[in-house]
Structure 1
Amino acid sequence: DDDGSDYVILTIDDGWVLEDDGFYYYRGSDTVVDEDKYKILPKTETITVITGIELDGSKVGNDFSSSSFTITLVFEAKQSDYVDWDTLGQSNIDFSTGLPGT
């Protein structure tokens, strides 16, 4: 089952770091390190993720001309002081507070 990801070259913004677990983490200039955690400053409105998308010419030919494709990004984020990842994995989260529902 080929999802097509081998045909695309993505250029990820400099603020993102690929860690050993296979996930990218944001470490951009608008973060501060606090207790070994990178926290995004509250005034941050946008974060660039992808700066370039191109088809790998060594793998695609003219048969890809006029083709369309979809890129799906999955983001995971949390308010570090109010909830942990284990809590977010629960199905009874009150998303207005970020805390477990009652």
Structure 2
Amino acid sequence: MIDPKRDVGPFGEPIVTRTLTSEVHGGPVIVAIGKPRLHPTNGRTWLCPWRIEGLDEEPLTGSPAIGVDGWQALNAAIRYVDAALEGTGHPVSFNGGPPSLTE
């Protein structure tokens, strides 16, 4: 069984970011998704790191999204971020509306 939390390497440079606005403190909440890459130890599974900054003092991160290729891992990372934001209960907006991570 693959444990994506071990030996996945550094986040690296984000390939895409989106700046949301906190409806709690009015400051920026920055969502970043890293470049999909092959798992460094098994060479078959693709991983895509993600993080959310601005909700708390420390960035919110979780296990990298997993896919059979980079495309699937990237799409999964967007869903992971969406679920993580919803799970915090911290309301955010994008350009005055919903965060719209899939649009």
Name whichever structure is richer in helix by fraction.
2
TM-score (normalised: structure 2)? 0.27
The structure whose Rg is larger is: 1
TM-score (normalised: structure 1)? 0.27
Q: Which has the higher contact order (CA 8 A, sep 6+)?
A: 2
